[in-house]
Amino acid sequence: MKRSNTTPDAALEEELLRLLSTQVTHSPVSVVVAMSIIAYMAYQQAPDLILVWAAWLGMVVMAQVARVIIIRSLRKRSHLEPHRTLRTAALVNVCNTALHSVSLVFFPLFTPFQAALQSMLIIGMGVVSTVTAMGFMPFALAHICLGLLPLFSMWVWSGLVGPGGAMGLLIALNGFAYMISLFFVSRRIFAMFRESFEMRAQLEDALAKAEAAGSAKTRFLAAASHDLRQPIHTLSLFSAALGMRELDSRATHIAENIDNAVKALTYQLDALLDISKLDAGIVSVKVNRFSLHSMLCRLCEEFQVTAGEKDIVMSLDCPADAAVRTDPGLLERILRNLLTNAIAHNSDCSIQVLATPSADSWELTVSDTGTGIPEADQEHIFEEFYQVTNPERDRSKGLGLGLAIVQRLSQLLNLELSLESEPGWGTSFTLRIAADAIPTTADDSQRQVSSLDELKILVVDDESQVRDGMKVLLEVLGCSVQVASNTSDAVSMATTEKPDLALVDFRLRDHDTGLNTIDRLRHLYPGLPAIIISGDTAPDRLQQARAAGVPILNKPVLVDPLKQAITKACHIGA
């Protein structure tokens, strides 16, 4: 793990320390075993020198223990500069290598076989030490100068005056060549290590920048969404209230166009909100059994009019007993996006919704015979804001978030999503959904509002236009309304007259929040129904609001969702 504000060389040295710390965890046992073998051979040749080789072996064991303690402690001393700790680690390695080479005092006592075995052990330990240190030259030079040079010098002695003869000189000659080769190999290993480390650092830096850019994008979308939602929310309230009044035909036409424009803006902002919620990881999955046939019939009937305006013929092929187990709300969102996308990007074609059984699941396909998607674009269409045929950014074709939401929701529900498309022939999206029995209980989500007359509602919002718009709309619906701009005013009003429901903005001024308002109101009236209305889409704020367990409506709020939320919160008609 890199320390902050370190230079590249310091970071490289820290990585070497990490590798050494890992090495000392595994190497002591093998080193002690190897040195014990050499000590045992010394005992075989000179049992009367037992005190000598036993003392040496004891020093080897203590040195290994000390090496483990010292190198591990070096990594914990973050106040020390990396090059100083690495220098200390190299010194410890030099001492251990020198101690291992002390075993060469027994070399003249050994038979050629024992001398060869001793040589193999010393060479092997040195190679492991050099490689695990990534060719770090102080380690490599310690092994070459303190381990290999004395070892092959003993083979020269064996060839000149000892029992080795010509074979000893030949081994020594090969050994010296090996030392030279090891020196250059170590340099190459360390160079490769440095290159790979720098490459990894660059990748980590690029990843950090990408994550920062992603976070900045999320914050930007959240801020822009919040700032846009406030005036659009106000507009939607006045537009809804206007549409409920008696108007002449010309004014009615104007009101309808205003309402349609507000709904289009709301749909696009909701797409941004969906992305923010998915990024925040706060979209909960509520799995239920329900009739797939009923859902598809309702959606096809709803989209039939929009499709007909573009000369698109819609058809549905789904068995009446088709039922699945998943989250019905999220699945409907997926299907709505697929159907909206198919209608927005095509005309004068056909769209088919097909449900076919497959083992223990249903394959649900939304296909069209429209323009199709070029193969080069197919891997990009699930990216945010990517649109194949909308260079002019036609608002009627959306923002390019529909399929990004489809993919994320499919992953959230563990649904298999596949795409087949060919230019000129059309496009098919297929979902594989787990099958289940037809539900025996009716879905109560369609329960209608029975009456809002005389309901006392306290509206808390720091925007005066929003307060006025909400008051006008709720009074048209028959409610009695009080408005406040902050928690203090809301509590004061509630003390005078108990409200039946509080509609509270999430983010108020002067660090005040809707959650604080609701908490204060519920101190006066425990269990008071409350709804948060917010234009804030920042992931952390969405998580905070969700954790409070209060229903949330996102600005701009259209009249039907508002009525349904009030009805549910106040148990009207239950």
CA-based max dimension of the chain: 123
Peptide bond between residue 556 and the one before it cis (omega within 30 degrees of 0): yes
The 3-state DSSP class for residue 538 equals coil
pLDDT for 388 = 61
CA 440 to chain centroid, in Å, comes to 38
Cβ atoms of 353 and 316 within 8 Å: the answer is yes
Q: What is the 3-state secondary structure (H, E, C) of 110-174?
A: CCHHHHHHHHHHHHHHHHHHHHHCCCCHHHHHHHHHHHHHHHHHHHHHHHHCCCCHHHHHHHHHH
pLDDT for 534 = 78
What lies within 8 Å, CB to CB, of 541 at 6+ separation is 222, 506, 507, 534
How far apart CA 409 and CA 429 sit, in angstroms, is 14
Residue 560 tokens, joined: 């039907």
H-helix segments, 244-365: 249-280, 292-308, 328-344
Cβ atoms of 521 and 257 within 8 Å: the answer is no
Rg of the chain in Å (alpha carbons): 38
pLDDT for 290 = 82
What lies within 8 Å, CB to CB, of 489 at 6+ separation is 460
Q: Which of 555, 549, 556, 553 is nearest to 284 (CA)?
A: 549
pLDDT for 246 = 76
Dihedral angle sign, alpha carbons of residues 323, 326, 331, 332: positive
Question: How buried is 138 (Cβ within 10 angstroms: 0-12 exposed, 13-18 middle, 19+ buried)?
Answer: middle
Give the type of residue at 339.
Answer: L
Mean pLDDT by 10 residues, the chain (574 residues): 51 77 76 89 87 88 86 69 76 87 88 88 85 81 88 87 81 88 88 85 84 70 64 75 77 78 68 62 74 87 86 89 84 87 85 85 88 76 64 54 81 86 86 64 39 83 85 85 90 86 87 88 86 73 71 79 84 65
Q: Which of 107, 117, 125 is nearest to 64 (CA)?
A: 125
**Torsion, CA 144, CA 148, CA 149, CA 155, rounded to 10:** -160
